[in-house]
Amino acid sequence: MPSRLSPKTSSPAREPLTRVEAREPAVPPSENPFVPSDLSKDLSNFEFSVMTLMFGFQSWAKVCMDAAGYRGLQPLDILTLHAVNHRARSRRQADICMVLNIDDAHLVAYALKKLQAADLVGAKVMGRERHYETTAKGEAACLSYRRIREEFLVSSLTWVAGREGAINDTAGFLRTMTALYAQAGRFATAASAGQPKMPPLHTKR
């Protein structure tokens, strides 16, 4: 006789699998959330205006030099040329960097090489250093630039400037802000000197 088969026991019903929804890690609330002051908001407005002014001025410098008949120069090349030509005296590369407030000396060095190749700037060795001065072609380029600037830009300032001395006051304020930024940078560097340095960000693909 066939053996009696034991009845199969039913397994408990399983709950349907559901997709686990990704949840963002909980961020603990900061005890002291940063709230910018009213002066900080005013400074942000000033900084945004400076950025737009900076790029606007660079664009103008290039357009003005192109209109003067000297095409192919970038804004930094033009500023370096005017820095060399200023007060018609020879300057060292370090002097040019200081006048333009540029820390990366290789940027000015590259601009000087381009200006020398274009026969706008010449160099002569005095002692252990090279001194740069504008050539006759470079002097003519600066003079043409000033004429274009006088005709199309300076004439527009008569109604923008408002009261007499407003532009000089603005220039003084910008120089003061430049000094304050430099001072704040030194303080921030000194305050973080004892902290471990994070590795530089990887910006190349």
91 φ, ψ (degrees, to nearest 5)? -135, 150
pLDDT in tens, 14-46: 555 555 454 555 555 556 788 889 999 999 999
Q: How many residues does the chain have?
A: 205
Domains in the chain, start-ordered, CATH in brackets? 66-159 (1.10.10.10)
The H or E element spanning position 168 is: helix 166-191
Q: Where are the beta strands (DSSP E) in 29-141?
A: 91-92, 121-126, 129-134
pLDDT in tens, 52-100: 999 999 999 999 999 999 999 999 999 999 999 988 778 999 999 999 9
Helix 105-117, helix 93-100: angle, nearest 10: 110
* pTM of the complete model: 0.78
pLDDT over 90 at 135, yes or no: yes
pLDDT in tens, 137-176: 999 999 999 999 999 998 888 777 667 788 889 999 999 9
Report the DSSP beta bridge partners of residue 126. 129
